[in-house]
Amino acid sequence: MTNFMDKDFILSNETAKKLYHGVAAKLPIIDYHCHIDPKEIAENAVFTNITQLWLYGDHYKWRAMRSCGVEEKYITGDASDFEKFKAFATIMPDLIGNPMYHWSHLELKRYFDCDLILCEENAEKIWEMTSNKLAEGNMSVRDIIKKSNVTALCTTDDPVSTLEYHKQIAEDKGFKTKVLPAFRPDAGLNCERKGFRDYINSLSAVSGVKITDLNSLKEAYKQRLDYFTSVGCCTADHGIDTRCLYAEAKCRKDVEDIFIKAYTKDGRDVTPEEEAIYKTDLNRFFAKEYRERGWIMQLHFGVLRNVNAVKFKELGRDTGFDVIGADTGIAELAKLLSAMESDGGIPKTILYSINPSDNAAIGALLGAFQTSYNGMPKIMQGSAWWFNDNESGMRDQMISLANLSAFGRFLGMLTDSRSFLSYTRHEYFRRILCDLVGGWVESGRYPNDEKTLTKLVENICYYNTKNYFKF
């Protein structure tokens, strides 16, 4: 019997063990998409207990707790930090097969030197161990990032952001990790939502461009794109809810009228067709601007947001009530990419669907628009995302990509997380990757050539991302 989470955790063959311990484990981390707060990095925040690190804002853990019948008081309510931690520890034995079980124990091992099993019986002891470790003075946000060997990370930032904390971090020459913004234009694309008018007014104020029509809207965005570039930004991330949309306007005035209507009525009465026309036009505009600046466009799609109306009203967004959408609009995405290609060329692009059923469709779609970019493929499939970044989800995504594209050019893992301890997800991914590749080698499906295998693993874990993003 294999011991729980020993040094060869997940590594089921000798080749996998050599590749992980000899290659993957030693490589730095580039986390090119996450949701951590740059303010906490700039101010080098410290935490007094593990609940602050683990349970504040982590809707992955909140969903798991609700799935075990934990009262909301101990999740987002007014229970004490210890009570919330104990409630989380108590449910852990029921999470067999859930990546949360592995992630949590990896985090305890790597950051707190704690090998105890997380459960109700050990909750108080683990609370004391982690609290004492946090009190030692070497577990600040920047300490965690350094300990994790992170060379670069990209946060997620609205175009109206001042990016003051990114500039503050960059000015500190003693902190070597690059902390760069990523442009997130969702609010100005979602013309069908209440609050659209206020957002456009905010964009107008921060850009210094009086927005009165579509041309001035795009001019304001150009100003913000230039500003983000000046602060080191090299990527944009579009969060496309539910499905990709594509519709062509009959004439330029149609898009202009839709924008004016959405602004005047604050998102009310915008029809689905009008929404599709407006978003198509703006996405084509952004793609052209990204291409000219050498940026990377990331498209995340397929999410049904806030399906529990009662809980959305009570707790707001990003609280654990989003789900996988079935109709993700692959056909419309293909049309959108084709339109971008017709506009002068698709920028470097990474595609993610939250629906694992889209893996093969994305893998095939890449090849239809693939061109060379400095020796790298221009369009990539992103890592298994959100509900799929578990062991089977990551294996399935990688196998599908290998079947349909060039797996050796894969960009590897990202955290997509709000937690500073989530860098162990890169370890989790790297162990799965090495086990997968090792299995192919030992079954005779790939040559046992040390030099080739070393380069393959190094590239997928680190160098492909470094070269693609030019970090």
**CB 408, CB 421: distance < 8 Å:** no
Instruction: Provide the 8-state DSSP code for 344.
Output: T
Over residues 18-40, the mean pLDDT reads 97
Tell me how far apart the alpha carbons of residues 381 and 399 are, in angstroms, rounded to a whole number.
Answer: 12
Residues 428-445 as b/e (b if ≥16 CB within 10 A, e otherwise) read: bbbbbbbbbbbbbbeeee
Radius of gyration (Cα) for the chain, nearest Å? Answer: 23
pLDDT averaged over every residue in the chain: 97
What is the reported pTM? 0.97
Tell me the mean pLDDT in the region 24-33.
Answer: 98
Q: Which helix (H) or strand (E) holds 341?
A: helix 330-342
| Longest alpha-carbon distance in the chain | 69
Reply yes or no on whether the pLDDT at 241 is more than 90.
Answer: no
Q: What is the pLDDT of residue 452?
A: 98
Indicate the pLDDT class of residue 263, thresholds 50, 70 and 90.
very high
What pLDDT, in 10s, does the model give residues 97-131? 999 999 999 999 999 999 999 999 999 999 999 99
62 has a pLDDT exceeding 90:
yes
Q: Residue 465 in contact with residue 411, Cβ under 8 Å?
A: yes
- Write down the pLDDT at residue 373: 83
pLDDT band for position 85 (cuts 50, 70, 90):
very high
List C-alpha distances in Å: 255 to 159, 282, 355, 365, 382. Answer: 21, 9, 30, 28, 31
- pLDDT value for 301: 96
What pLDDT score does 378 carry?
95
Q: What is the mean pLDDT of residues 31-54?
A: 96
Q: What is the pLDDT of residues 127-185, one digit of tens each?
A: 999 999 999 999 999 999 999 999 999 999 999 999 999 999 999 999 999 999 999 99
Q: Cα 418 to the chain's mean position, in Å? A: 10
In angstroms, rounded to a whole number, what is the distance separating the alpha carbons of residues 243 and 304?
9
pLDDT of the residue at 376 = 86
Give residue-wise pLDDT tens across range 372-403.
888 889 999 999 999 999 999 999 999 999 99
pLDDT(242) > 90: no
Rounded Cα distance between 277 and 86, Å, is 50
pLDDT of residue 372: 87
What mean pLDDT do residues 347-365 have? 97
Tell me the mean pLDDT in the region 461-470: 97
